[in-house]
Amino acid sequence: MATFYNQATLSYNGTVASSNITSGEILEVLSAEKSAVSDSYSQGSENVYMISIVNSGSVCYSGLTVTDDLGAYSFGETGTAVPLTYRDGSLAYYVNGVQQPEPAVTSVSPLTVTGINVPAGGNAMLVYAASANSFAPMGADADIENTAVISGAGFEPVTVSETISYSDGIDLAISKSLSPAAVEENGEVTYTFIIQNFGTAPAEAADNVIFSDTFTPALSGLTAEFNGTTWVSGTNYAYDPDTGVFTSLDGQVTVPAASFSQSDTTGEWAAQAGVSTLVIRGRLA
């Protein structure tokens, strides 16, 4: 709400007379909010945003422009990175809850939408999707602050923002390899399992990550080691040589958190997964 002041003067015969000062208030009738469907993101995830514009006044606002910076931020001394990529064709435009034809959209940063109308006593809403790209910050304290500005004739621009945070926690993946790939009957084989953690938090004993596999054919004389340390049957794992079922016991599988870095040259982010290795050897039964 803005206040304005006004004073009149009379000039005559070298004399100046001033009136009292009047004041008034300009009521801001256009307001807006911005929100995201999800409050977190990961690299490559799609995020849906909504911008709601409300007109509490008695006059329609037409031909408005909405610009969205797609989370643009500075890095290094002169660099600028844009962490969100608008998904072409995703924008839906509603007036008083009724979907309208898609307005003109320029999808490069900043995302620009023109021709928005907000009726008197009514509202307009924009809904659109944007994906977190390789410039999206990664790590435990990372976030994307996304700012939009609504502008047009007859009012001061309205600015709205929404912040989403990088997904916290563990994010595990596993791969399996066999050596040798061709083995004689009753020959010895080695299974190697690479467990990767792309998350911001380590997988610790309290997380009770359980590894299991059914070896077909079953293995005899089985041995196991985790990150170079020999595992003991009944303490670290359970194995049934009749069925070939191998299962780690609670709290035995741990994996360090990933590390994250941003290129000083390009501004792109990358994750270096935390890694643990489980090696199981045995003879084909």
Asked if 282 and 223 touch (Cβ cutoff 8 Å), the reply is: yes
**Is position 7 within any domain?**
no
Give the pLDDT of residue 108.
Answer: 79
Distance from the Cα of residue 43 to its chain's centroid: 7
Q: Is residue 12 part of a domain?
A: no
**Total count of residues recorded for the chain:** 285
Give per-residue pLDDT as tens, 171-205. 999 999 999 988 888 899 999 999 999 999 999 99
pLDDT at 6: 86
Are residues 112 and 183 both part of a single domain?
A: no
Answer yes or no: is 11 within a domain. Answer: no
pLDDT digits (tens, 9 = 90+) for 104-136: 999 877 999 999 999 999 999 999 999 999 999
Closest CA to 64 of 133, 125, 2: 125
Instruction: Provide the domain count of the chain.
Output: 2
CATH of the domain at 261: 2.60.40
Q: Judge if 144 and 53 occupy the same domain.
A: yes
Maximum Cα–Cα distance across the chain? 122
User: Where among 146, 166, 186 does a domain terminate?
Assistant: 166
| Mean pLDDT estimate for the chain | 93
For 182, residues 6+ apart whose C-beta sits below 8 A from its C-beta are none
Q: In which domain, by residue range, is 237 found? A: 172-284
Residues 179, 142 share a domain: no
Question: On the CB side of 277, how many CA atoms lie within 13 Å of its CA?
Answer: 8
Assess if residue 176 is contained within a domain.
yes
Low-confidence ranges of the chain (pLDDT < 70): 1-2, 4, 24-28
**Whether residues 268 and 162 fall in one domain:** no
Residue 47 covered by a domain:
yes
pTM of the predicted model over 0.85: no
